[in-house]
Structure 1
């Protein structure tokens, strides 16, 4: 029998049931799910198995690659610098990174990097995944490129380039790597069990990701499209996340390692309008910038209809009908993991798993859990 561990508040028993159903059916292999409301852990669940053969249990301290939830942490790092007055969202990137002005990018602004509208959603070919592991060199290549579309005119999801672009700004302003900066200012103060990349000491408790069976196939895309350029700049498969090179790298777009609890511990201050357990992390006005809509429409890379604010997606019922309208910021990781930051309810929902689904954003499992959370809150309000 697959075991589900942890606790839920009385009104959230249906959430436990939803998770148990997915484990029982075999749709879920291993996972963690966490719901924080104003600093109270209303849902803290973990269970299943950490391996595809289902021989090792998913423990309380099991961690895994959370894919693009990493971008949400990277965005928060940038917002810290905005809050401190060191980074102006509407300033040209070249103010802080002069080389970025090359090839017609002198007017690209910081907000364009944070909203996937910069025109630099990957490396010009030829590109290999190994190229991204040298973070400074890859960032320099991105700075030298011409944009692949008119910056600011549309979003083109920065699949793997996001961490290099935002991370270079962090490096230019602080002299620290993105990995070190997030550890010092986000991970350590919150006590979160999270890192960009993975330490050798943590290898024994990592759950390998279980690929969805079908990777992105760029050959089906037109060679002149932004999507083709992005998915071949460089090409990579989900299995890369289980390799030593990926785990050792600093990929601020995609190789964060943690679990639902640690993701929530880092991101919950956004939902609490800046308040953190160790004091105020950000001013409410800075949090409000998240909701400055930067683009709305079909993304040039992933093909989803999206609304992008500063650093986070905003509710869009066409794409994620199970996330309600309101002051909500969110994003997910490839295969289904999700982080939902609900300012109206001061609530953070975080879901992390090892078995990847085939959806681009979210999954049926994520939808079931998040729907159950909101239904539980609705029942309590009546």
Structure 2
């Protein structure tokens, strides 16, 4: 009995087989995988269940919180403004958002926000999770904060505040909130079922998250003033609360995007197509080239792992993401395992979304298995 539904080109059958194997063993609860080549789907499959009792099947239109995959949508939104000449990557953030210059941040540039090198990777304590839901006040707090390190000298992953920083710049330029801008300029025109700020009409299609095993170490034993602790615990992302209506409906452009592999791949195919999709130029070659302007390559101050960042995306890094191919490739992952890779050399986008979270902050054994199968098929 087949455990998956959807379409899979014959050359990519190993991808389906890999997903079915993970579903059969119970490692995977419910998931979707989509691969596009030159913007056209060659894999669009899904399977499993949305609930731990396995009573409700994962359907074609099931949505799930994909956490930091949301950041790639936020970055894509900013790149649209770059392409229109409304946003300059090398301009000071304060040029668009004057209040941000406070407390020594006058020289922080837009590229620093997009590459996690701004020196503002989180909020000064105290900060509760519900405080993040109010974009205006949360952004104002970031504007008033001091730097945690010298901008541009290292990355410190902007885990929860990436969308507040970039979203506020977008709002200052365009007038629309990030969620509305993304919906009206990208998701709706492309027919992509992805939401930054998900309306209640979609709640019935959302697969609840199954949290990963608890951390094996106690954060309380670490230096509470470290960039790692302040970034990841102020506030702490509570996975159980991702089922709350307030979380789902807030516009948190770092972590609360809801979609599936099909919608992720549809949107990100703009990048793997070199800016061209459906015969329309969404981004010029120069804007796409900017993604690959390396901004940092080294030990990330917040995640404590080696990372390479371009503009808005991670770049290939063999230690941290060994299954991401080399070349003109950009990628990112959501905590628990969701993954997207844009390979411009081959015109390929790979996307994976699931509800059972794996341990670790970047990738998973499951994601690696699917990625390996997909890229072996296009090698």
What TM-score comes out, normalization by structure 1 length? Answer: 0.97
Please give the alpha-carbon distance, in whole angstroms, between the structure 2 residues aligned to 1:300 and 1:268: 30
Other-structure match for 2:339: 338
Contact 1:2-1:24 within 8 A present in 2 as well: no
Question: 1:204 Cα deviation (Å)?
Answer: 1.1
Please give the alpha-carbon distance, in whole angstroms, between the structure 2 residues aligned to 1:203 and 1:223: 36
| Aligned partner of residue 266 in structure 2, secondary structure | helix
Spell out, residue by residue over 1:239-292, the C-alpha distance to the aligned partner (whole angstroms, 9 max, x if none): 221111111111000010010000111111100000012611110110000000
| Aligned partner of residue 188 in structure 2, secondary structure | helix
Other-structure match for 1:267: 268
Spell out, residue by residue over 1:17-64, the C-alpha distance to the aligned partner (whole angstroms, 9 max, x if none): 111110111000000000000022111110000112111000000001
Structure 1 position 205 matched with structure 2 position 205: yes
Q: Which runs of structure 2 are paired with 1:1-382 in the superposition (5 Å)? A: 3-214=3-214, 217-277=218-278, 279-378=280-379
Please give the alpha-carbon distance, in whole angstroms, between the structure 1 residues aligned to 2:225 and 2:195: 36
Please give the alpha-carbon distance, in whole angstroms, between the structure 2 residues aligned to 1:177 and 1:247: 16
Please give the alpha-carbon distance, in whole angstroms, between the structure 1 residues aligned to 2:237 and 2:374: 34
| Corresponding pairs, count | 378
Please give the alpha-carbon distance, in whole angstroms, between the structure 1 residues aligned to 2:212 and 2:65: 14
Spell out, residue by residue over 1:122-180, the C-alpha distance to the aligned partner (whole angstroms, 9 max, x if none): 11111101111110110000000001111111000001010000000000000000000
| Aligned partner of residue 163 in structure 2, secondary structure | helix
Which is worse superposed, 163-172 or 197-206?
A: 197-206
Which 5+ residue runs of structure 1 have no aligned equivalent? none
Please give the alpha-carbon distance, in whole angstroms, between the structure 1 residues aligned to 2:367 and 2:126: 36
Contact 1:2-1:23 within 8 A present in 2 as well: no
Question: 1:377 Cα deviation (Å)?
Answer: 1.8
Please give the alpha-carbon distance, in whole angstroms, between the structure 2 residues aligned to 1:240 and 1:139: 21
What TM-score comes out, normalization by structure 2 length? Answer: 0.98
Contact 1:120-1:148 within 8 A present in 2 as well: yes
Please give the alpha-carbon distance, in whole angstroms, between the structure 1 residues aligned to 2:138 and 2:279: 35
Give me the CA root mean square deviation. 1.2
Contact 2:39-2:266 within 8 A present in 1 as well: no
Question: 1:213 Cα deviation (Å)?
Answer: 2.4
Please give the alpha-carbon distance, in whole angstroms, between the structure 2 residues aligned to 1:374 and 1:266: 19
| Aligned partner of residue 341 in structure 1, secondary structure | strand
Which 5+ residue runs of structure 2 have no aligned equivalent? none
Please give the alpha-carbon distance, in whole angstroms, between the structure 2 residues aligned to 1:32 and 1:146: 41
Which is worse superposed, 223-232 or 306-315?
A: 223-232
Spell out, residue by residue over 1:191-220, the C-alpha distance to the aligned partner (whole angstroms, 9 max, x if none): 001110211111111100110021585313
Please give the alpha-carbon distance, in whole angstroms, between the structure 2 residues aligned to 1:354 and 1:305: 26
| Aligned partner of residue 312 in structure 1, secondary structure | coil
